[in-house]
Structure 1
Amino acid sequence: MWGLALYVALKIPVPLWPQGFPVLGLASTAALFVSALAYAAERVGWGRAAGLAALAFGAGWGAELLGSHTGFPFGVYSYAGAPGPLVLGVPLIVPLGWFALTLAATRLAGGRPVLAGGLLALWDVGLEPLMTAQGFWRWSDPHPLWAGAPLQNFLGWWAVGGLIAWALTRLGSALFTRRPQDREGDFALAYPIETFFLPGGLVLVGRYVEAAVTLLAMGLGLGLARLVRRE
């Protein structure tokens, strides 16, 4: 929870220092990663938590490296000119996010990988216009659907996110088992936090329509997760 609090605190200065978005974005994502790692370690131990983090980091990084060079599975894009630090051409913020965001989405989905992948795809509705506006990646796909990204991108997010979520549930099932001492929401709080901050970030860069669509998309994800968890 302290990691989540730091994650939020590092987002607050963005309106006062817009040029510092790359630094603040990396720092806040790193805080979220550490929070996810600590959450996992409390439930499965530090060794297995580190292994799960490495698996998700590696899978996310591998998918992005493949995607930026071949157009599969997300579509045609590149990281040319992306702010550093880079891991073989992929911004470090991206694979850090794949572990933390997938863990949060899978926790919110009650351990259902298919739903977790869908929640990540809805999350990416906001990430695409914000991160392209900040220069982290550039789309050149011939079939753009949203913010330069094709439908293939969102299907790719669903598939890659769902596969990482499936691996997390198989290798760390205790991460998604409710315990009496658990706070309501716990690490899954990262998703509603982003539902607030991601549209806000889009407003700051003048993407008002994208902000409204992101709020609706992620709000839909929250509502769907709540319905499914009640079943």
Structure 2
Amino acid sequence: MTDTKHPSGAPWRNFYGRFKGKTLRSSQKEYLESDLAALSPGAVSWEDNPERTPLETQALFDGKPIWLEIGFGGGEHLVHQAQQNPDVGIIGCEPFINGVAMLLGKIRDAGVTNLRVFPGDARDMFDVLPAGSVEKAFLLYPDPWPKKRHHRRRFVTPEHLDPLFTCLAPGAEFRVATDIPDYVRQTMIEVPRAGFEWLAERPSDWRTPWGDWISTRYEQKALRENRVPHYMTFRKPA
């Protein structure tokens, strides 16, 4: 459904996740009030950018290559990558405000300056990222939506993958991690269908974490519950 009566002019997009969880601590509220605006990548939301003017990505990080993390959870992987790659600028998208507050605290503690944070739906970010502007993207332990009737809500559907493919530069890498076998199956069907190449040549390529990986709290939960992580690496053809 693309027609809309929304005052902002935004297309109607169903959102099935959570925007807020338990009550924020006073320190987390302070992070949101003091730090979030300064870390904004620019006008992304429909209210702020109804014309959908593309972000000036070259100015955003002084010409550094841009990476994107979709749904950063508590932000530990995002901060880790920023620390390990100071010559890269990374944008994180996360609509769950508790996760955003957690990330802001980690950014303060780490002192990294090459991150930007969008507290909203990644689809809005796709609208304003110029085509071919992102050189690496991460989708790590996304919401599994385990019931079969809910599989259409997963990220690995054309609604998300097609605009992501457009935003990525030729040769860009797309990493997906999940511990849900059926999510692996759907990923292996839908991501190549969207135009990506799967880079695995042997079982260890999807059983072994990436060399720069940091295990997230979601992965630690999966391991405690004896679920097996899968690490899938795709590439947009050059």
Q: Is TM-score (shorter-chain normalized) higher than 0.5?
A: no
Q: Higher relative contact order at CA 8 Å, sep ≥6: structure 1 or structure 2?
A: 1
Greater helix content: 1
Say which one has the larger Rg. Answer: 2
